[in-house]
Amino acid sequence: MGRVEEAVEEDNKVLHRNLKDLTVIIRLVVAYSLLDRQEEALAASDELLRLNSQFTIASVNKSWPYKHKEDRDLNMTAQRKAGLPETK
């Protein structure tokens, strides 16, 4: 999980420059979830939904390309674990 931890550090740097970067917040939700940092994953999910109340797992996974189905499934599972809604 070392690369995920590195991604969290980098994403937090980006987020400090732009607090409303939804892509970064989504990546943090997934990373925190994968690292079993559930409290932080839930906080990031809350912030994401505060900024975009229409966000759904289905919408982001339609717009983000995945080369491998396993990557998409891992991402979706992490988003679910963090409490993001599947659909509206």
What per-residue confidence (pLDDT) applies to 19? 87
Polymer length in residues for the chain:
88
What per-residue confidence (pLDDT) applies to 82? 96
Give residue for tokens 């939804």.
22
3-state class (DSSP) for residue 64 = coil
What per-residue confidence (pLDDT) applies to 1? 58
Write the DSSP assignment of 14-80 as a string of letters. Answer: HHHH-TT-HHHHHHHHHHHHHTT-HHHHHHHHHHHHHH-TT--HHHHHHHS--SSHHHHHHHHHHHH
Per-residue model confidence as pLDDT tens digits over 27-84? 999 999 999 999 999 999 999 999 999 999 999 888 888 889 898 999 999 999 999 9
- Please give the model's pTM, rounded to 2 decimal places: 0.89
Q: Is the pLDDT of residue 5 over 70?
A: yes
- Does an H or E element contain 4, and which? helix 2-17
Q: Which residue segments constitute the domains of the chain, with CATH numbers given?
A: 2-81 (1.25.40)
